[in-house]
Amino acid sequence: MLTAARVAAPLSLRDVRAGYGRIEVLHGIDVEVRRGEVTTLLGPNGAGKTTTLGVMSGLITPSSGCRHVQGRHVNGADAAALARIGVCHVREGRSVFPNLTVADNLVVASSSGASLDRLTEVAFTLFPRLKERRTQLAGTLSGGEKQMLALARGLGTDPSVLLVDELSMGLAPLVVAELYEAVAAVAQQGVGVVVVEQFATIGLRVASRAYVMAHGQVIYAGSSADAEDAVHTAYLGSAAS
Ligand SMILES: Nc1ncnc2c1ncn2[C@@H]1O[C@H](COP(=O)(O)OP(=O)(O)O)[C@@H](O)[C@H]1O
Ligand SMILES: [Mg+2]
């Protein structure tokens, strides 16, 4: 029991302030990613969600506070260093190489050190649709399939933390449900998953925990089941301002 209690969260931010140049965007936020759980991070446009993921993945350095990965203080680490210790960031916009086939996109992803066999196995088990389309140019995939490929590319590296920005943006509900199923399956294997959403509260059904952000602050942290009120407050506040 003691050991379990001592196992560090795969990633946490404590009282983190960060921004761009002199502009502070995050005004002291606490977020904890837990192993084996989906955590959803919600909030209106401009709330600071993407900036938070950037801090988590090392694209942005905290100006104060602590960034911990597996219990280690890693404020100074850059994105490449955090990727090597298992932090995977699937950035907004489904980044895939449009002129390469699905299979070749996986080959490129494996060039960062992941085994191609492992990457292919993970991708095609989680998303059989990608297997069917392995010779198709990624640029001609549907939005949902591109998102699957973007996720698969990240997962092949066996991350301990998976950060996904705007998972469902612009996608049809059925595809979104399929993507969330995959994300939940990944979490069940022990990965700490964070999914950022601007509009979709579908994440609340899959996630155990939710954070709601507004104006660079966390206005709710807790069970996803009780997050709805905070979500409304955040969106109403942003509409009024
Ligand atoms: N590269 C940047 N340079 C300066 N300000 C930025 C940059 N990216 C985002 N911001 C600002 O930071 C705030 C939060 O943005 P962001 O984290 O992208 O919010 P969200 O993802 O919740 O929509 C916004 O006010 C935005 O204008
Ligand atoms: Mg964003």
pLDDT tens digit sequence for 191-211: 999 999 987 678 888 999 999
* Distance in angstroms (rounded) separating the CA atoms of residues 35 and 19: 27
Exposed/middle/buried for 3, CB within 10 Å: 0-12, 13-18, 19+? exposed
* Distance in angstroms (rounded) separating the CA atoms of residues 198 and 231: 10
Ligand lying closest to the C-alpha of residue 91: 2
CB 160 within 8 Å of CB 68: no
CB 101 within 8 Å of CB 137: yes
Ligand lying closest to the C-alpha of residue 215: 1
Angle between the N-to-C axes of helices 173-188 and 116-126, in degrees from 0 to 180, rounded to the nearest 10? 130
Q: What pLDDT score was predicted for residue 101?
A: 97
Question: Which residues' Cβ are closer than 6 Å to ligand 1?
Answer: 20, 23, 25, 43, 45-51
Ligand 1 pocket mutation pick from 49, 51, 169, 217 by most atoms within 8 angstroms of CB: 51
Q: What pLDDT score was predicted for residue 210?
A: 95
**Global pTM value:** 0.93
pLDDT tens digits, 102-121: 999 999 988 877 789 988 99
Where the chain has pLDDT below 70, the residues are 1-6, 94, 200, 239-241
The sheet with strand 209-214 has its strands ordered as 87-90, 161-165, 192-197, 38-42, 209-214, 217-223
